[in-house]
Amino acid sequence: MIRAAVSLTYFFAAFTAGSIVTGHAANDPPIVPGMDPGGPAIALITDGIDYTDPEIAKRLARDGEGELIAFDFVDGDIHPFAAADETTGTNAAKILLAAHPNARLVIARVDRNQAASIAKAMLFVSRTPAKVAVITDQGLSGDHLAIVKKAAYRTKKMAFAVPANESLKMPRNVFIVVPPSNALDPLADNTQALMEKAAALSCLIEKGVRVANLAKQPNASVASCQP
């Protein structure tokens, strides 16, 4: 059986020149030992996550030997760590798990200032067990959305929940989430809406809805997707 961590490392090699780093940055904490928790995989494309948080650690997707199914496109390793007070990822992960407690998390850490970093992460997570991915951000625009659009066309079998400040025409596997117009805190409200959208998309796929047909159920929610 080929280890998932090895195959994912070789996949990343297609996107970058030079040596592949399979260790971790000196300031990254060790991964909490564990095995894959099972359940539907949902990918978080984010600026990092505190994977030592007990609530998150127990729901991280892992390969057959307990290594994370994850990649850090900032440090070039498989430890996508960022302190909870320095990232949106940790809070987003907790909101997602509250919306879909049975989910397991695939993590891709990106540099949100570099559109190419997000595109690489989209291609990466499409090669993992995840069928749904969510990009955590304050709202993508311009070059970032153009790159997301191109990457989505190459990953048509995966659904993406994407934040944006306005609704735009995108491939049918991309679901734009716009902050409520009356939101007092658009960032907070958009994170909640993003995670709920990702959870709802995952529920529909679990029920047998194909990614190509998800757009036919635009009002689906986690509640309406439950048995």
Q: What is the pLDDT of residue 168?
A: 72
Q: What is the pLDDT of residue 20?
A: 42
For the chain, list the domains and their CATH numbers: 4-23+33-225 (3.40.50.200)
Q: What is the pLDDT of residue 183?
A: 54
Q: What is the pLDDT of residue 29?
A: 93
Q: What is the pLDDT of residue 166?
A: 65
Question: Edge to edge, what strands does the sheet with 174-177 contain?
Answer: 70-72, 104-109, 41-46, 132-135, 159-163, 174-177
Any residues with CB less than 8 A from the CB of 141 and at least 6 apart, and which? 164, 165
Question: Measured between alpha carbons, how far is 138 from 97 in angstroms, rounded to an integer?
Answer: 20
Mean pLDDT per 10-residue segment, the chain (227 residues): 38 41 67 93 96 96 94 93 89 94 96 88 96 83 82 93 79 84 59 91 92 84 65
